[in-house]
Amino acid sequence: MVQRLLAVLVLLATLCSPVFAETTIVFATDATWPPMEFVNDQKQIVGYAIDFMTAAGKEAGFVPVFKNTAWDGIFAGLAAGKYQAVVSSVTITEDRKKAMDFSEPYFTVRQALIVNKESAAKKIEDLKGQKVGGQIGTTGYFAIKNVDSVEAKSYDEIGLAMEDLNVGRIAAVVCDDPVAANYALDKYKDNLKIGSIIETGAAENYGVAVKKGNADLLALVNKGIAAVKAKGMDQELKKKWIGQ
Amino acid sequence: MSQKQSNQIEVGDGAAIPNPEDKGLVSAWYIALFGTLALIILLPWLKPDPYLNILRFVPDGILVTFEVTVLSIALAIVIGLLTGLGRLSPNRFINLIASLYVEVVRGIPLLVQLFYIYFALGRFVQVPDIIAAVIAMAFCYGAYMGEVFRAGIKSIDYGQTEASLSLGFNRRQTMAYVILPQAWRTILPPVGNEFIALLKDTSLVSILAVADILRRGREYAAESFNYFETYTMIALIYLLITLVLSKLISVMEHRLSHYERR
């Protein structure tokens, strides 16, 4: 009797569970990009993008799971289906759109040039013949490569480039402005400064990348992003993580 | 007599070095070489985008890889010779220093040593990236090389030293004019192996933003998203280089064993 009851309960549970279970989306993130996404001293992945997606999940009904992944292979893993989406300060570019689909933008940045305190450089072109570093495969690195007169150096992580700039092996680093602010105004504030914000035409938008053709997932993520923006939660998050 | 010899297991660091007597390995080497060559030529020819673009993108990386390898091995041989002599020195202090160096270096992974010399020590001494890479690689391989030198020197019969000393040479002259010239024949083949192993290990310096073959490949892949094609080409390039080098070393080894075969 008890066994039969249990069996019925188990059956009921299996039948009902899909109704209660929310969709889980595994997001890959390269958590070396403070303050957007990084690992804090408690070894948790935190940051603006993490809070944003968690809030978006609450609004649209999905549970985000964040998987720390090296930037270098992050799009290869997406194509291989190791995770469903990438939320890692990915700027929406035409080249990238050919390889993957993007959600609506969730953040806007510009590229910043970080230099030594004593440097007078205002743009990349000012550093003729010198080495300028950026993270491999980022829009900051592409901006350096577009300037022929400087030597572009690609790093695995932006923090390593900052350290090289700090000890003087390279003349400047180019990266997204919130990240630049985090390093130049906080961690290395005695040595480094933001030389300038590079005006390369349009501002850059961060989007969530999903595998090409995954329209259902994209719709769900877009719904969440729209809801967070509509409620003004993104402004609160900006205050929390970026300040001004 | 030959029964008394214990079975030896030899695991080289480099690609399998073809031994002229071992027919099986020779054919494996030929198959690998021609397979690699065929792929390196055919792929870009059949599918220029992206394979030919990759081949155009990496050549300066090949130069950097060779630059780091050759400089590192040269420095490592010097460090190795000093360490090997130090390990055999009757002076207890020198002996201790040399042994300590070998012990410390062999206990730390090469990748950690690279990070250490580049980023940790970078706060105090600033050296350009390639030099930092060379110092780190040479520092690590010098320890292994030291063991090679020690074994090579010890392989020379003590009678040689006795004879040399009785002829009036002092210890330094004995080492320089009698022992080392003979020990070279034993030392060179393993040094060749270390060279190939070092060349492969230089792929680690790509972590220091040194633009070697692997770094160039990663840059290409990160921009084009052609991961499969890029890493296929990178692997083929490394394979071709090590196959050719291992052949050269086998030829050298063959020449050096000339005296023993008589």
Closest CA to B143 of B87, B70, B202: B87
Q: Do B215 and A154 touch (CB under 8 A)?
A: yes
Q: List the one residue out of A1, A7, A51 whose CA is nearest residue A27.
A: A51
- Mean per-residue pLDDT over chain A, rounded: 88
DSSP letter (8 states) at residue A142: H
User: Is B219 at the interface with chain A, CB within 8 A?
Assistant: yes
pLDDT of residue A5: 66
Question: Given CB atoms, is B211 within the 8 Å cutoff of chain A?
Answer: yes
Chain B hits for A134, CB-CB cut-off 8 Å, are none
Residues of B in Cβ contact (< 8 Å) with A163: 119, 122
Residue numbers in B near A76 (CB within 8 A):
221, 225, 227
Q: How far apart (Å, rounded) are the C-alpha atoms in residues B239 and B237?
A: 5
User: pLDDT at residue A54 above 70?
Assistant: yes
Facing residue for A155 by CB, picked from B126, B209, B221: B209
Q: How many CB pairs under 8 A join A and B?
A: 49
- DSSP code per residue over chain B: -GGGSPP-----SSSPPPPTT-HHHHHHHHHHHHHHHHHHHHHHHH-IIIIIHHHHHSHHHHHHHHHHHHHHHHHHHHHHHHHHHHHH-S-HHHHHHHHHHHHHHHTS-HHHHHHIIIIIGGGT----HHHHHHHHHHHHHHHHHHHHHHHHHHTS-HHHHHHHHHTT--HHHIIIIIIHHHHHHHHHHHHHHHHHHHHHHGGGGGGGT---HHHHHHHHHHHH--HHHHHHHHHHHHHHHHHHHHHHHHHHHHHHTHHHH-
Please determine, for residue A205, whether its predicted confidence score (pLDDT) is greater than 80: yes
Q: Which residues, other chains included, contact B62 with Cβ-Cβ below 8 Å and sequence gap of 6+?
A: B213, B237, B241
Q: Which secondary-structure segment (H or E) carries A233?
A: helix A233-241
Cis peptide before B20 (omega within 30 of 0): no
Minimal CA separation from B228 to chain A, in Å: 9
Say whether residue B22 is in contact with chain A using an 8 A CB cutoff. no
Residues 166-185 of A with CB under 8 A from B: 167-169
| pLDDT of B2 over the 50 cut | no
Beta carbons within 8 Å of A3's beta carbon, 6+ residues apart? none
Of A136, A146, A151, which to mutate for an interface test with B (greatest number of B Cβ within 10 Å)? A136
The shortest CB-CB distance from A72 to any of B129, B209, B222 is to B222
Structural element, H or E, at residue A232: none
pLDDT for res B262: 46
C-alpha A39/C-alpha A64 separation (Å) is 16
- Is there a contact between B50 and B233 (Cβ–Cβ < 8 Å)? no
Burial (0-12, 13-18, 19+ Cβ within 10 Å), A136:
buried
Is the Cβ pair B122, A163 closer than 8 Å? yes
Q: Is A137 on the interface with B (CB under 8 A)?
A: yes
pLDDT at position B130 over 90: no
Q: Which two tokens stand for residue B174?
A: 């004995």
Give the per-residue pLDDT at B21.
Answer: 62
The whole-angstrom distance between residue A111's C-alpha and the CA centroid of its chain comes to 14
What's residue A18's pLDDT? 46
Whether the ipTM is more than 0.90: the answer is no
Output the six-digit token pair for B254: 């063959």
In this predicted model, what pLDDT tens digit does every residue of B174-198 receive, in sequence order?
A: 998 999 888 888 888 888 889 999 9
CA distance B70 to B72: 5
Query: Residue A217 is inside which H or E element, if any?
Result: helix A215-230
Q: Which tens digits make up the pLDDT trace of B234-254?
A: 999 999 999 999 888 888 888
CA distances from residue B23 to B19, B26, B36 in whole angstroms, order as listed: 8, 5, 20
What is the secondary structure of A76-124 as a DSSP string? HHHHTTSSSEE-SS-B--HHHHHHSEE-S--EEE-EEEEEETT----SG
Mean pLDDT of A121-126: 87
CB atoms A167 and B123 under 8 Å: yes
Considering only CA atoms, which of A72, A108, A22, A157 is closest in space to residue B222? Answer: A72
- Contact status, residue B242 vs residue B52, Cβ threshold 8 Å: no
pTM assigned to the model: 0.80
Contacts of A71 in chain B (CB under 8 A): 222
B117 touching A, CB under 8 A?
no
Looking from the CA of B9 toward its CB, the CA atoms found within 13 Å total 1
Q: Which two structure tokens, joined as six digits, stand for A18?
A: 């899909």
**Shortest CA distance from A153: residue in chain B:** B209
B125 at interface of A, judged by CB pairs closer than 8 A? no
Q: What are phi and psi of B238, to 5 degrees?
A: -60, -45
How far away is chain B from the Cα of A162, in angstroms, using its nearest Cα? 11
DSSP string computed for A198-213: E--SSPEEE--EE-TT
In this prediction, residue A9 has a pLDDT band, given cuts at 50, 70 and 90, of low
